[in-house]
Structure 1
Amino acid sequence: MSSTQKNNLYEASWDKFPTELLSKIKIMKKILFVIIASATLSSCGLYKNYQRPTDVKIPNNIYRDSSKLENITDADTTNFGNMPWREVFVDSRLQNLIEKAITNNTNLRQADLTIRQAEAGLKISRLAFLPSVSLSPQGTITSWDFSKATKTYSVPVQASWQIDAFGTLRNAKKQSEMSLMQTRAAKQATRTAIIASVANLYYTLEMLDAQLATTKATAELWDKNVAAMETMFKAGLTNSSAVSQAKANRLSILTTIPTMQASIQKVENSLCALLHESPYTIERGVLEDVKLPSSLSAGIPMQLLSNRPDVRSAELQMAYAFYGVLGARGAFYPKITLSGAASWTNSGGLGIVNPGKILASAVASLVQPLFAQGKLRANLDIAKAQQESATLSFEQKLLDAGNEVNEAIDNYNAAKLRVDGNKELVKELTKSVETTDFIFKNDNSVSYLETLTAQQSLLQAQLNLISAKLDKVQAVISLYQALGGGRD
């Protein structure tokens, strides 16, 4: 065959190529449809949506004896944790501090960045359903023994599309969705913890202020007591031992003041660190004016599933593992890929033509794993083990959440009893100080040391009362946090 005939044959077949290609593509599509339909029928389970397993153990008696506590009940479906944080913490100064922490705290800002990464990962998973397209133009200049150069060029566009017939891409996308939801739950848990920490530190400052003020007032009283004892000693009404004891008690009180002042600065520094600010004096109120909700409801146990971000995250991990098992099962099925390429080129394999022509091709491939050295079975076993582990973690997280609620309720009840008891103790010791002082001044049937001892006991009771009030406040904060509070 002459070169002219070859070129004519080449051009004739080249002109018919698009029509032949279309017919082949139609046949290929029919074959693939039959393959996909038959395989899909055998793999319907790969497209299941997550549902909480029926065998997950969710205890109904997760709260212990809460109905016996005053103003605390678990029968009401209204959950204390559902209250917006501004309704729980009504002090405007504290609200400003919490708002600063929510805006500036480093951990929260890092949580936002983690969410952005998870969102990008989900976007990648979604785009995996689309075909991939690439353009790679190229040109070649060839010369044989310095003869006239031959120039060839090609401008190819290639596309590849994986058909998700067995849920591989879908389950990977679902896992990305679960990861994104987990990062959001983690941010909410961080937010709740920061709100609770700011409130705890703020009220701790008010407690230290109250203890410092009480200690300073008692120290001033002991200044007067020492002066009175020295006057009595000069008058021969008491001995030097009593004077020394009074001075020792006064010094003992004075030495606690620097410790309290240092504690105040440390707490302020910690609070400023949460706010992502340099240390400064925190403006605050007084402990006696603290107003927190008087009626607390723990809510029904199942509400922990929706309110507690860590419990929600644990269940999302179960869902993530569930789709991981489906993905591992899908790996046993064929992988179907459609590929196509179109190129504008002057080199068709039979010679060089100018101007160039379009060269197109389409390929369908099906890859069925037959022997993968046990990797597919091992991956499935790993995915199942991860699912079981996630289920156990969820059950334990729910129990831990219930224990935290129980502990907060117990601490609240104990602190309330301590506050009531210390109030009565302060009341009685105040009477004792007044009585012994009156008897000493008018009857001399008691020594002045008995008056000093009564004052010392009163100071300790006052400090204990202040501490018990803080414990009560912090128990309310802990209960709010344990119930998943922190919403706007």
Structure 2
Amino acid sequence: MRAARLLTLLLVAGCSVAPHHKPAPTLQVPAAWRAAPGGEGVVARNWWRSFGDPALDALVRRALDNNGELRIARSRLEEYRARVRVAQSASLPALNLSFGPSRARAIGPLGQPVEVTSVAGSVQASYELDLFGRIAATLDAARFEALSQEAASDAAALSIAANTASGYFNLLGLDAQLALARATLASRERSFALARHQFEVGYSSRLEMSQAEAELHATAAVVPQLERAIAQQEQALSLLVGASPGPVARGLPLLEVRLPAPAPGLPSELLRRRPDIAQAERLVLASDASLAAARDQLLPSIRFSASLGAQGGSVARLLRDPVELWSVGGSVLAPIFDAGRLRAQADIAATVRDRALFAYENAVRAGFAETENALAGIDGLRRQLLEAEARSRAANEVLRVARNRYANGYASYLEELDAQRTAFSAETNVLQLRAGLLAAHVDLYRALGGGWTPAP
């Protein structure tokens, strides 16, 4: 009686573990965006089509089909789905078949060596009764981990699509700048030829000719710089779409690409729009289930087993007149003393759960910040582009007047050169801001989750 009581006390002591409370939440969801009003905001899954460029659509589709990082992410997702099947198998009975002949020599009852030949076959079955839910918790953890990998794969696809669109718009911006640089270079060549002719006939000074020559070489140096940047951007896009380095097809010119108007919606809606936030949330659920499974390791486990077989001296005897063998049994395994190993494993699982919670809050805050930055970027770049376009118009008017004054002898050629530099800089700034504004719209689509919705 005393031994039974002692055993009961040891079981209770071995199964007890202090509760692992979740850390207090610190996340606060803002009621509205600072840079834009709230309201309904629905982003299409194929959001890149809103720019109206068929070449961009084809490029993004190629990237989503062939990108190497996405193929790795999809392979990893299949791995975690297989892990779910592994965890699910623990909740079902296991059946094993064994068959084999044997021959042995032993000492008989009279001290003489005896050789025995036997052939045996059997079927064994085993099953663990999930009385305390450990197997179910392990299965839940595997399922949530697979769901988190599914969201991670979707997040990778969104990132690849956004990077492809941003790279494409950067390429269009470089194309436009190269066309402007080449047109300006042709104008500089004509200006230098005129300045040299006027110097040779004595109508202008060497200073004006030298200034025209310097401006010609400065503009000529911009062309190979832009050509190199275009080649590098094409290689980057080729890598994104899973292709060998080569030219990238263009569609609309930079200034003809449509500027969409995505609505941000409410901040609270962002929590179910972004795949990275869903990934972090599912990892919290997975770690919570893993903690439950780790705590259940401290509880007894109950196993049942059974086997049915036959044995004979030969295959013929096994089939004709076998000796039937069978066994049925069960076992209860309860941890009593393991030097704190199981408790430490539960503590480790609790810290993993806490880190998953902190990572989820960080992911949500990062989503809010990225959306605010994208909204502020679009607003600022749009206003900046309006001012840059006004400056470009004014600079071109200054250039027109300076040319007329120089042609009529009212000003020196240096005045026209200064006007040319200002106009070229202003037009280049407009093209850079236009490409930047398109990229800012891509950033907003990325921040809003790219039209992602969780799979049912």
Structure 1 length normalisation: TM-score?
A: 0.82
- Distance in 1 (alpha carbons) for counterparts of 2:172 and 2:68: 25
Partner residue of 2:35?
Answer: 66
Partner residue of 2:158?
Answer: 192
Amino acid at match of 1:61: P
2:96 to 120, 123, 134: 134
- Distance in 2 (alpha carbons) for counterparts of 1:288 and 1:362: 81
**1:454 and 2:419 matched:** yes
Q: Give structure 1 stretches of 5+ with no counterpart.
A: 1-38, 47-52, 68-72
Alignment of 1:7-22 (within 5 A): none
Q: Give structure 2 stretches of 5+ with no counterpart.
A: 1-11
Alignment of 1:157-176 (within 5 A): 157-176=123-142
1:282 to 244, 248, 265: 248
Alignment of 1:5-44 (within 5 A): none
Alignment of 1:67-146 (within 5 A): 67=36, 73=37, 75-80=38-43, 82-142=44-104
State whether residues 103 and 118 of structure 2, in contact with CA within 8 Å, keep that contact through their aligned partners in structure 1: yes
- Distance in 1 (alpha carbons) for counterparts of 2:48 and 2:329: 62
Amino acid at match of 1:397: A
Change (3 A) 1:155 1:243: same
State whether residues 334 and 369 of structure 1, in contact with CA within 8 Å, keep that contact through their aligned partners in structure 2: yes
State whether residues 418 and 465 of structure 1, in contact with CA within 8 Å, keep that contact through their aligned partners in structure 2: no
State the 1:56 CA deviation: 3.0
Amino acid at match of 1:222: R
Partner SS state of residue 366, structure 1: strand
Partner residue of 2:331?
Answer: 365
Partner residue of 2:307?
Answer: 341
Amino acid at match of 2:102: T
State the 1:79 CA deviation: 3.7
- Distance in 1 (alpha carbons) for counterparts of 2:23 and 2:291: 17
Alignment of 1:339-418 (within 5 A): 339-346=305-312, 355-418=321-384
Structure 1 window deviating more from structure 2 (313-322 vs 295-304): it is 295-304
State whether residues 203 and 287 of structure 1, in contact with CA within 8 Å, keep that contact through their aligned partners in structure 2: yes
The Cα offsets for residues 350-369 of structure 1, whole Å up to 9 and x where unpaired, read as: xx9x8223222211111111
- Distance in 2 (alpha carbons) for counterparts of 1:57 and 1:279: 47
Change (3 A) 1:465 1:142: closer
1:271 to 230, 233, 237: 237
Partner residue of 1:203?
Answer: 169
State the 1:410 CA deviation: 1.8
Aligned length: 426
State the 1:487 CA deviation: 5.2
State whether residues 299 and 335 of structure 2, in contact with CA within 8 Å, keep that contact through their aligned partners in structure 1: yes
State whether residues 63 and 406 of structure 1, in contact with CA within 8 Å, keep that contact through their aligned partners in structure 2: no
Structure 2 length normalisation: TM-score?
A: 0.88
**1:420 and 2:386 matched:** yes
State whether residues 89 and 95 of structure 1, in contact with CA within 8 Å, keep that contact through their aligned partners in structure 2: no
The Cα offsets for residues 249-287 of structure 1, whole Å up to 9 and x where unpaired, read as: 011000110111111111111111111112222121310
Identity of aligned residues (%): 25
Amino acid at match of 1:270: A
- Distance in 1 (alpha carbons) for counterparts of 2:394 and 2:241: 43
The Cα offsets for residues 324-348 of structure 1, whole Å up to 9 and x where unpaired, read as: 111122112110000111121259x
- Distance in 2 (alpha carbons) for counterparts of 1:450 and 1:62: 55
Amino acid at match of 1:212: L
Structure 1 window deviating more from structure 2 (130-139 vs 472-481): it is 130-139
State the 1:486 CA deviation: 5.8
1:228 to 176, 191, 194: 194
State whether residues 274 and 452 of structure 2, in contact with CA within 8 Å, keep that contact through their aligned partners in structure 1: no
Alignment of 1:44-63 (within 5 A): 55-61=24-30
Amino acid at match of 2:414: L
- Distance in 2 (alpha carbons) for counterparts of 1:467 and 1:487: 30
State whether residues 104 and 276 of structure 1, in contact with CA within 8 Å, keep that contact through their aligned partners in structure 2: yes
* CA-atom RMSD in angstroms: 2.5
Change (3 A) 1:355 1:421: same
Partner residue of 2:228?
Answer: 262
Partner residue of 2:212?
Answer: 246
State whether residues 189 and 216 of structure 2, in contact with CA within 8 Å, keep that contact through their aligned partners in structure 1: yes
